[in-house]
Amino acid sequence: METKKDEVIILRKTLTPIHLWAIGVGIVISGNYFGWNFGLAESGYVGMLIATIIMALMYLTMSLGIAELSTVIPHAGGPYAFARRAMGPYIGFITGIGVVLQYVIAAPTIAIGIGAYISFLFPEISTLVAAAIVYAFFMAVHIIGLKEYARLEMILVFVAVGLLILMYFVGLPQINLNNLGKVDGSFIPRGVSGIWAALPYAMWLFLAIEMLPMLAEETRDVQRDMPKGLLSGMMTLLVLSLFTTTVSIGLAGIADMSTADNPLPAAIAAVFGNSYWLAQVLASIGIVGLVASFSGVMLAYSRQVFALSRAGYLPKFLSLVHSKRQTPYMAIIVPGLIGLALIMLFNPNDLILIVTFGALISYITMNLSVIILRKKEPNLSRSFKTPLYPFTPIISVVLCVIAIFASCFSNITIFFVSIGIFVLASIYYFFWARHKINVAAPEEKFAKEGSGMLDSIPSNKSEITP
């Protein structure tokens, strides 16, 4: 049974292509600064390079598919909205839970990285204190508004990318080719299983670019600008990932890189020493890369939580808006508090595996949505069509399935914990959420139009002004 609400909250359009590129690159760029290196011990450089290329192909093919979907379904629900239209409310909800799991847990993972960089400079400051300060600051920024955040994010992204490029120029001439060769007599220490085990960590170099469709409702010309933002961001990240892994490993070697909490300063320090100016710059100013991603992740989880709450799947208070700034403050604050708690309970290796599992669930359903909607509704207006369809989404689905089982090799306990989360979410859906669906929410309204069962929609709306 579905219930109607009296009010629909619509987000105002403020974003341009350069904003989308900056947010897309910014939310991912911390993967270059922290996290990707944890898979090196089993894969070596060659194995990590192969894993990175495989994941780049998965993300590129997926980006092409969701670029099409975002022009057809330009709502804040993004992944949930795509799956809702294609496969119904339950799969839409599960997709949304995968997205929420991904971003709510990614935030503390990145916060741990920020704490490690801060501790490198100020050992007396604990990781938890640093994380709490960063959470509080960006909660305030996002509550103030999206336009203000986008301006700040552009500055952070340009600084973060500039520092990476500076590292490449300084580091490339100093690479030791032996560091890129065999480890214990083998290019890939554990062979194919080593590559497989490295996939979740290679994902960290691209993970979260897919959040951009959640900003479709706030993009000025979504039909033209969203594909531009998605694809330009993806190509930027591909180039950065190849240079970052090669230069870092070439400078410091597998042993040092595989355990480094702050891999980029460690890589420079391995050749030039801890006191070298670039090592100090990367350890200090380099934190902006992590901060850029952290702030973007907070934006992503707030939009997905807001959309699921607006549609009735999550408690209504999570879609409350600030009385003056008209921003979804509860969808910003509550997941942030959960993230702070997770920092005290888990280490970053385990958190990364939970993040990638949740992400991959949503990736699979989004790719299937491209295929299903082409079959079910071929006449939908598509200003951008996925190139090389149907091979593009099929390739992405296959790689997603391979990647999701890669987490078994990394930590079987975390793999089953992740499955358990979705089992609990399913129980919650069938006993509570499915009875509370708000048919007036834009994503639900659009889904009903597709099924031919559109209910009467209330006309009174209030508008968020980020």
| Cα 166 to the center of its chain, rounded Å | 25
The domains found in the chain, sorted by start residue, are 8-464 (1.20.1740.10)
- The pLDDT value recorded for residue 464 is 36
Percent over 70 (pLDDT), the chain: 90
**Secondary structure letter of residue 261 according to DSSP:** S
Residue 249, pLDDT > 80, answer: yes
- pLDDT for the residue numbered 450: 61
pLDDT greater than 60 at residue 453: no
Residues 6+ apart with CB under 8 A from 268: 167, 170, 171, 251, 276, 278, 279, 282
Q: Which residues contact 374 (CB under 8 A, 6 or more apart)?
A: 389, 390
3-state secondary structure of 395: helix
Rounded to whole angstroms, the Cα distance separating 419 from 413 reads: 10
**Mean pLDDT in residue range 54-73:** 92
Over 60: is that where the pLDDT of 40 sits?
Answer: yes
Strand, helix or coil at 5? coil
Integer Cα distance of 448 and 439 in angstroms: 8
Asked if pLDDT for residue 260 goes beyond 90, the answer is no
In the predicted model, is pLDDT for residue 309 greater than 70? yes
pLDDT in tens, 108-119: 878 877 777 677
Q: How far apart are CA 194 and CA 56, in angstroms?
A: 18
Specify the pLDDT at position 305: 93
Q: Evaluate the CA torsion angle 369, 414, 307, 2 in order and state its sign.
A: positive
Q: Which residue has the higher pLDDT, 369 or 141?
A: 369
**What's the CA gap between 33 and 43, in Å, rounded?**
19
State how far the Cα of 340 lies from the Cα of 30, in Å rounded to an integer: 18
Q: How far apart are CA 428 and CA 402, in angstroms?
A: 28
Which of 147, 141, 62, 111 minimizes the C-alpha distance to 293? 111
Q: Which amino acid is at 130?
A: A
Whether residue 33 has pLDDT greater than 80: yes
The token pair at 461 is 């709306």
pLDDT value, residue 427: 96
Report residue 409's pLDDT band, with 50, 70 and 90 as the boundaries. low
- 299 pLDDT band (50/70/90 cuts)? confident
261 vs 268, residue with greater confidence: 268
SS3 at position 265: helix
Q: Does position 248 have pLDDT exceeding 90, yes or no?
A: yes
pLDDT digits over 430-451, tens only?
A: 999 999 888 888 778 777 776 5
pLDDT-above-90 percentage for the chain? 32
Average pLDDT over residues 354-362: 88
Q: Which of 218, 156, 292, 236 is nearest to 14 (CA)?
A: 218
pLDDT computed for residue 164 by the predictor: 93
Burial class (CB in 10 A: 0-12, 13-18, 19+), 353: buried
The DSSP code sequence of 304-339 is: HHHHHHHTTSS-GGGG---TTT---HHHHHHHHHHH
Q: What is the pLDDT of residues 151-189, one digit of tens each?
A: 888 888 899 999 999 999 999 999 998 888 777 767 788
pLDDT band at 7 (very low <50, low <70, confident <90, very high): low
- Work out the widest C-alpha separation in the chain, in whole angstroms: 69
Residues forming a β-bridge with 9:
462
Q: How confident is the model at residue 16 (pLDDT cuts 50, 70, 90)?
A: confident
- Cα dihedral 43→200→404→333 (10° resolution): 170
- Residue 348's pLDDT is 66
* Residue 277 reports pLDDT greater than 60: yes
Confidence of residue 461 (pLDDT cuts 50, 70, 90): very low
455 pLDDT higher than 90: no
Q: What tens digit of pLDDT does each residue of 219-237 get?
A: 888 888 889 999 999 999 9
DSSP 167-191: HHHHHGGG--GGGGS-BTTBSSTTH
Give yes or no for residue 422 having a pLDDT over 90: yes
* Pair 61, 393: CB distance under 8 Å: yes
Instruction: Kindly report, residue by residue over 312-351, the tens digit of the pLDDT.
Output: 999 989 988 776 767 788 999 999 889 888 877 776 667 7
Mean predicted confidence (pLDDT) in 368-391: 91
Cβ-contact 263, 152 below 8 angstroms: no
* pLDDT value of position 83: 93
**Residue 273, number of CB atoms within 10 A of its CB:** 9
* CA dihedral angle for residue 320, residue 325, residue 327, residue 329, rounded to 10 degrees: -60
Q: What is the pLDDT of residue 325?
A: 67
Cβ neighbours of residue 231 under 8 Å, at least 6 residues apart? 63, 64, 67
> How far out from the chain centre does Cα 457 lie?
33
Per-residue pLDDT band for 413 (boundaries 50, 70, 90) equals confident
Tell me the average pLDDT of the chain.
83
The top-scoring range by mean pLDDT among 61-70, 124-133, 179-188, 317-326 is 61-70
Q: Which two tokens stand for residue 161?
A: 């990318």
Which pLDDT value is given to residue 171? 92
- What interhelical angle do 329-345 and 287-310 show, nearest 10? 120
Name every residue whose Cβ is closer than 8 Å to that of residue 419 and which is 6 or more positions away in sequence: none
- For position 452, what pLDDT does the model report? 46
| pLDDT score recorded for residue 251 | 92
Task: Check residue 9 and give its pLDDT.
Answer: 58
